[in-house]
A and B are shown apart, each in its own frame.
Chain A
Amino acid sequence: MNEELLDMITNKINQLTDEETVTEAKMNFHKPMIILPADKWTLTAAKMLRDDEDLRFDFLTCITGVDYEEHMEVVYNFYSTVHDHYLYVKVTTPREEPSVQSLDPLFKSADYMEREIYDLLGIDFPGHWNLRRIMLDDDWEGHPLRKDYITDKKAMGLD
């Protein structure tokens, strides 16, 4: 049943632009997962996922940023309170000037979670109403969860 859902999601997203937007679609631990590049991840696509009668992914549960050293990824975990099904959306972005469309205009739950990713990984979210640091000080330098971040041991009292 979940495989059918995966096909349906992939088709619907590809239909939006009449091209192969989804670079990879697979099952990840029994849940559908689609992977697409950041320039193809638009508010239109997210709105379709939320409002389409068969999909209705109305609950944005979790947003994760991951640094893979060659590139970066933002993973969205959706849940549908209407149909009770799940979806992973993986958005890939280059490591130099990483940028992913913000979902804040559609899902308010993205507000804080995207700010946290911006703070700790330095990924930009154009369209966010208030993209500022949330955990660290405003004048903090660097983004700690990046793999090349050098921990200032002296400042932490470890040296």
Chain B
Amino acid sequence: MSDLKTETMTLNMGPQHPSTHGVFRLQLEVDGETIVRATPVMGYLHRGSEKLAEGFLYSQFIPYTDRLDYMNAMTNNYVYCAAIEELFDWEIPERAEYLRVITMELNRVASHLVWWGTYLLDIGAMSPFLYAFRDRETILDRLNEISGARMTFNYHRIGGVKWDAPEGWIEQVLETVKELRENIQEFHTLVTGNEIFQSRTIGVGKLTKEQVINWGLSGPIARASGVDIDVRKTEPYSVYDQFDFNVPTREEGDVYARYLVRIDEMFESLKIVEQACNNIPDGEIIHKKGKKLMMLKPPEGEVYTRAEASKGEIGVYAVSNGKNKPHRIKLRRPSFVNVAILQDLLEGDSIQNLVSIFGSLDVVLGEVDG
């Protein structure tokens, strides 16, 4: 039987497949149930953010960064603002940095919660989705109170943040943190120990350390394969050097390890939020020159600024020619870089593992397509 030569078949998964949570096509060449070759096809959501940036004043581009990884918009806001601030060489008021850290870390938890819920939905468990979205909604309420939007926050500004925390907000965040900690702990009893879940994730979609480094992967994917890179630690930005937190890593490199790394990360983020809320200083929330939104003209120069988003390393390469509009804004979008690994990772695996592996990468299509 094994000598029997069969023809391979081309199968398109997407662009409207439910597990992509967006528009993404995987062109699969399959031999029976085995994937011979997987070719990601993207660009369905390409809006030309980098091109748009060149036509705007510096401050006008901030809302567009919200629409890259719309699950984690705070970090996108931050990294763009931080790049321009670095060109200016500004000192940012400490209260603003604390508010940035609180919002970014809350947003990271919200992003991981969405991943947790939708990932389990993808592999066939309905109820975790409801638990995850219940908890995410409390976070979005807090972020809504401070920024005025649920997902597209447009909250960070070049030089600081837009609004100060409303009366009693810090205390409410501390309450939320307590509540979330209990609820997320429950996830372990709900899902982590489940035998069906474990059999679909343990040993599936293994990535080695070498693969991670060679393909430039970052974020929880890298850390689940034992590559201990986290921009918050390797090159601390904002005020991250003032907090006590760990970067969870695991050695196994399979889907299950990525799952556990993300869960552990949520607890670490909550730890940071708690410390930031307890130590937040009084004072200004924006650099005095940052208030003049239309007048921002960074000196000539170029810089690459990085931050740790929930999906991995997000970076902005900003080139200024001294005018009021950027000469070039390049966005290093973690999902775009991470999704390339599918070409290597799916080869030789079976179709039944595909959704489990693809979901474990946690890519957001707004960010893949830019």
Chain A interface residues toward B at CB < 8 A: 28-29, 58-62, 64-67, 75, 77, 81, 84, 88, 107-109, 111-113, 116, 120, 133-137, 144-145
Which residues in B have their C-beta under 8 angstroms from that of A108? Answer: 214-216, 340, 344
With contact pairs A59-B213, A88-B304, A144-B48 given, residues A64 and B330 touching in the complex (Cβ less than 8 Å): yes
With contact pairs A67-B328, A108-B344, A144-B51 given, residues A60 and B216 touching in the complex (Cβ less than 8 Å): yes
Q: Is the CB of A112 within 8 A of B369?
A: no
Q: How far is the CA of A120 from the CA of B330 in the complex (A)?
A: 11
With contact pairs A62-B304, A64-B330 given, residues A109 and B216 touching in the complex (Cβ less than 8 Å): yes
Q: Is the CB of B229 within 8 A of A62?
A: no
Could you tell me the distance in whole angstroms from the C-beta of B363 to the nearest C-beta in chain A? 12
Q: How far is the CA of A137 from the CA of B51 in the complex (A)?
A: 16
Which residues in B have their C-beta under 8 angstroms from that of A145? Answer: 50-51, 54, 328
Chain A minimum-CB-distance residue to B234: A84
Taking a contact as CB atoms closer than 8 A, the residue among B43, B234, B304, B317 that contacts A134 in the complex is: B43
Q: Is the CB of B337 within 8 A of A113?
A: yes
Q: Is the CB of A109 within 8 A of B337?
A: yes
Could you tell me the distance in whole angstroms from the C-beta of A12 to the nearest C-beta in chain B? 21
Chain A to chain B: the 3 pairs with minimum beta-carbon distance, closest first: A109-B216, A64-B330, A135-B43
With contact pairs A59-B213, A108-B215, A108-B216 given, residues A134 and B42 touching in the complex (Cβ less than 8 Å): yes
B361 at the interface (CB under 8 A from A): no
B271 at the interface (CB under 8 A from A): no
**Interface residues of chain B: helix, strand, loop or mixed (majority):** mixed
B302 at the interface (CB under 8 A from A): yes
Could you tell me the distance in whole angstroms from the C-beta of B318 to the nearest C-beta in chain A? 10
Q: Is the CB of A136 within 8 A of B43?
A: yes
Q: How far is the CA of A66 from the CA of B304 in the complex (A)?
A: 13
Could you tell me the distance in whole angstroms from the C-beta of B334 to the nearest C-beta in chain A? 10
With contact pairs A113-B337, A136-B43 given, residues A61 and B332 touching in the complex (Cβ less than 8 Å): yes
With contact pairs A62-B317, A112-B336 given, residues A107 and B216 touching in the complex (Cβ less than 8 Å): yes
Apart from the given pairs A61-B304, A134-B43, 12 other A-B contacts in the complex at a CB distance below 8 Å: A29-B86, A58-B214, A62-B330, A62-B332, A66-B319, A67-B328, A81-B229, A120-B50, A135-B42, A144-B48, A144-B51, A145-B54
Could you tell me the distance in whole angstroms from the C-beta of B314 to the nearest C-beta in chain A? 10
Could you tell me the distance in whole angstroms from the C-beta of A1 to the nearest C-beta in chain B? 15
Taking a contact as CB atoms closer than 8 A, the residue among B43, B315, B369, B370 that contacts A77 in the complex is: B315
Which residues in B have their C-beta under 8 angstroms from that of A61? Answer: 216, 304, 306, 313, 315, 332
Q: Is the CB of A66 within 8 A of B51?
A: no
